[in-house]
Amino acid sequence: MSLIAGSYERFIWGFKLRSLKNDQNYELTPLFSFPSHLSPIKCTAVAGSAAVSGGADDTIKIYDLSTCSEIGSLHHSATVTSLSFFTPSSFSFPRNLIAASEDGSVSIYDADPFVHLKSVKVHRKAVNSICIHPSGRLALTVGRDECMAMVNLVRGRRSFYCRLGKEAFLVNFSDGGEKFFMVMDDKVSVHESEDAKTILELDSKKRVLCATSGMHGILFTGGEDRSIKAWDITSGKIAYSIEDAHSTRVKGIVVLHKNSDGDAEDHQHIVASASSDGVIRVWDVRMTNKDKPNPLAEVNTKSRLTCLAGSSIKSMKRPQVGNTTTNGQQLDAGEES
């Protein structure tokens, strides 16, 4: 499992989670750390051996985890606010990268090599979050204009736009794509993907800063309450939680998903979290029945972390960077042959 964390101090941090003995002991081994951006890092994304980070310097940096190096950059139109990879189920390497920015636009890139395909104006104000459906055919966005939009990734244009009445800070699909959820301060609403019908609303009591889907209908959230909550999105109840997981607010959560070796079922209990004081911890959620579970591994970056991303997909294919100024090409993500 590879973890990438970005910081307010412009540093990017890379770690490899290694099992030391019979999957009982783990350690976070440093891969790299250096000031990759000229301004604070806003977001990160990882897929296979490819990783990217977006910053307030209007730049996306590209990293190759197999060589632990930065291999290129993409010049964006404004501050990069959200990044998402699309990786087909049969691939161990991403096919497309989608980037959202503060000027309300979404940019689409081919990820092999990294070439700009098209930019689409989606929101009137900054885009807060973007996510791609597992099919690769559409993406959802939420923005500061208090609206949600749908982007058709086959045609490369906005296909739906609606007012929410309140600003959403995060949007993401469930593991299978049948549902999606939105975060508005301390509330998380869960919706059917087919018609956007609201299924239930989760009340976290304090502001939610990060959320990600796990397997079997579980949604993990973290935020101002410094805990990690696992919600059952069928019943709307908390399945289990890690109270006081960090001493400060939780800024990122990563859940181990299925990898190319097909052994995720043996390791899907592994969850990583990052806090604003620079600490990254790895947890075994099966230990939540204890009063105070201990992390499996921990590292202190001594920086103000802003985001966390990770992947369990094993791939040694090296990312390639192509011409970053090519425009207006037909998007091929999810397109039928």
Confidence at residue 19, expressed as pLDDT on a 0 to 100 scale: 79
Q: What is the DSSP string of 266-309?
A: GTTTEEEEEETTSEEEEEEGGGGGSSSPPPSEEEE--S-EEEEE
Q: What is the mean pLDDT of residues 16-33?
A: 82
In a 3-state reduction of DSSP, which class is residue 259? coil
Under the banding of pLDDT at 50, 70 and 90, the label for residue 317 is low
Distance (Å, rounded) from C-alpha 138 to C-alpha 274? 29
Q: Edge-to-edge strand order for the sheet containing 59-64?
A: 41-47, 50-55, 59-64, 69-75
Distance (Å, rounded) from C-alpha 134 to C-alpha 79? 26
CA dist list (Å): 187 to 80, 106, 218, 235: 25, 26, 16, 16
Which residues partner with 52 through β-bridges?
45, 62
Within its chain, how far is the Cα of 224 from the centroid? 19
Name the region of 244 (left: φ>0; alpha: ψ -120 to 50; beta: rest).
Answer: left
| Greater model confidence, 20 or 99 | 99
Token pair in block for residue 143: 């923005």
Identify which of 149, 191, 183 has the alpha carbon closest to the alpha carbon of residue 166.
Answer: 183
Under the banding of pLDDT at 50, 70 and 90, the label for residue 9 is very high
Token pair in block for residue 6: 């970005």
* Percentage of the chain modeled with pLDDT above 90: 70
How confident is the prediction for the chain on average, in pLDDT?
87
Identify which of 241, 218, 239, 238 has the alpha carbon closest to the alpha carbon of residue 228.
Answer: 241
Per-residue pLDDT tens over the stretch 117-150: 999 999 999 999 999 999 999 999 999 999 999 9
Per-residue pLDDT tens over the stretch 211-244: 999 888 899 999 999 999 999 998 999 999 999 9
Under the banding of pLDDT at 50, 70 and 90, the label for residue 66 is confident
Identify which of 97, 61, 78, 221 has the alpha carbon closest to the alpha carbon of residue 144.
Answer: 78
Return the minimum-mean-pLDDT range out of 33-37, 161-165, 328-332. 328-332
pTM of the model: 0.88
Distance (Å, rounded) from C-alpha 259 to C-alpha 159? 32
Rg value, the chain, Cα: 18
Number of Cβ within a 10 Å radius of residue 104? 22
